[in-house]
Amino acid sequence: MAKMTRTWWGEVFLDVLAMSMDEGRLKRGRAYSGPNRLLKFSINKGVATATLRGNINHYFGVYEEPRYKVTVKLRQFTSTDWNRISEMISNNAACLSQLLMNEMPTAIEDALSESGQTLLPRSKNDLVSKCSCPDWASPCKHVAGVYYKIASLLDRDPMLLFELRGLEFPVLREKLAGSLLGQALIDEQTDKDGFYELPTKRYTDPQVTPAAGIDLKSYWRGDHPLPSVDALSGSPPTPAVLAKKGGDHPAFWHLDQSFIGVMEEVCARVVQKNRLSL
């Protein structure tokens, strides 16, 4: 059977569904995730609602094609949970910097572990669903179809997980940007005019074809191509930006002088020495 998702987070999402229902309903549910069965679908404030086309079954007295209403959501975190989660992420430079750039951190679950929560569902208790069909089992095949649809969306936009847990990602990102470390990272990337804008486009957004009048070379270079070597000064605009995530005295650093100070000097020397060979 072909895989329904392409990413590890999509697989984890569906693994919980597989643990929550019998194999027969799970297999039949896949057919309900396509446009032939899924007539309407939307997500609003973390709740997915859908209308699905059922089957005519004379044996059970169903002589007209039924329509079933389905609602699906994950167990949502409370405001207290989100405050604790925001604090955990704000103290994790790697996760924080990726989220500020609209990227899903690979270590996001580790960052949330201290808060006692997980972003991805891990048990049946994380899944909340309702269907208007007469099936006694919960979740039913119609609910499974909607979960498959959500999993396919998560492949392209993992930030949807935050909304499914009760907090839209732009709101969380603004909160993280206001933290001390978040502001430090933003200041590091602020341009010479003192202007910085959080990116609005997610890196997981699907790519589009070049617009008319744009050649392929310009398209692949992006909207803001890297400056030419001639435009570079003798020292980098943000020296040792990666090293700064560890602070002045990271755990492996046993010297008295600042680790950041040493790395700034090293980075400047590397740029200056190799500038002509770039």
Beta bridge partners, 128, equal 73
Structure-token pair, residue 219: 């398209």
Cα–chain-centroid distance for residue 213?
33
- Identify the pLDDT of residue 208: 47
Using alpha carbons only, what angle is made at residue 165 by residues 50 and 208, rounded to the nearest 5 degrees?
65
Cα–chain-centroid distance for residue 130?
25
Q: What is the pTM of this model?
A: 0.63
CB 137 within 8 A of CB 22: yes
In this prediction, residue 1 has a pLDDT band, given cuts at 50, 70 and 90, of very low
Beta bridge partners, 62, equal 57
- Identify the pLDDT of residue 164: 93
225-267 pLDDT, tens digit per residue, is: 555 545 445 544 555 556 666 666 676 777 767 777 788 788 7
Using alpha carbons only, what angle is made at residue 240 by residues 239 and 243, rounded to the nearest 5 degrees?
160
CB 73 within 8 A of CB 164: yes
C-alpha 54/C-alpha 80 separation (Å) is: 41
Domain boundaries, the chain: 8-175, 226-278
Q: Following DSSP, what letter does each residue of 133-171 receive, concatenated?
A: S--SSSS-HHHHHHHHHHHHHHHH-TTHHHHHTTS-HHH
147-202 pLDDT, tens digit per residue, is: 989 988 888 888 999 999 999 999 999 999 888 888 888 776 655 444 445 555 54
Reported for 237-246, long-range contacts at CB under 8 A and 24+ positions apart, including other chains, are 238/188, 238/189, 239/263, 239/264, 239/267, 239/268, 240/264, 240/266, 240/267, 241/188, 243/267, 244/188, 245/93, 245/94, 245/97, 246/93
State whether residue 71 is helix, strand or coil: strand
- Identify the pLDDT of residue 4: 57
Q: In what order do the strands lie in the sheet with 127-131?
A: 38-44, 47-53, 67-74, 127-131
- Greater pLDDT, 18 or 130: 130
Query: What is the residue-averaged pLDDT of the chain?
Result: 77
b/e 221-236 (16+ beta carbons within 10 angstroms → b): eeeeeeeeeeeeeeee
- Identify the pLDDT of residue 146: 92
Q: What is the DSSP letter of 38?
A: E
State whether residue 68 is helix, strand or coil: strand
Structure-token pair, residue 24: 């027969």
Using alpha carbons only, what angle is made at residue 29 by residues 31 and 161, rounded to the nearest 5 degrees?
105
In this prediction, residue 274 has a pLDDT band, given cuts at 50, 70 and 90, of confident
